[in-house]
Amino acid sequence: MSVIREVLEELWSMFVGDRRLTLLVLLLVAVSAAVAAFLPKLHVAAAVLILVGAVAILADSVRLAARKARR
């Protein structure tokens, strides 16, 4: 049973290891989905929003982790 638990824990940490990053990604996808649904003519804007948002989330996550590592 401990093998199954370890596998499940590993899978969980693969995707939800960093709660802040996970929540920000879900928020980004929700906002982009709203843009794509309500402004279908501006669908490229939704695509660009996902890219810019993902890069911003990466920068935020790296900044926080770097600050923590320097302490």
Partner 1 sequence: MIAWATAAPAVGAAFVASTVEVVEAFTIVLAVATLRGWRPALSGAAAALGALALIVAALGPALNLVPLRALQIVIGVLLLLFGLGWLRKAVLRAAGLMALHDEDAIFEREKSRLGDEVRSARAADGIAALAAFKAVLLEGLEVVFIVLAVGAGHGLMIPASIGALAAFVAVMAAGLLIHKPLARVPENTLKFLVGIMLSAFGVFWTSEGLGAPWPGGDLALFGLAAAFALAALGLVALVRPRSEAAAA
The CA distance from 67 to 8, in Å, is 30
As measured in angstroms, the least distance from the Cβ of 27 to partner 1 is: 11
Q: Is 58 in the site for partner 1 (CB under 8 A)?
A: yes
> Which of 12, 20, 27, 55 is close enough to bind partner 1 by CB under 8 A?
55
* Least spacing, CB of residue 23 vs partner 1, in Å: 10
x/- site string to partner 1, residues 17 to 46, per CB under 8 A? Answer: xx--xx--xx--x--xx-xxx--x--xxxx
Closest CA to 28 of 45, 4, 49: 49
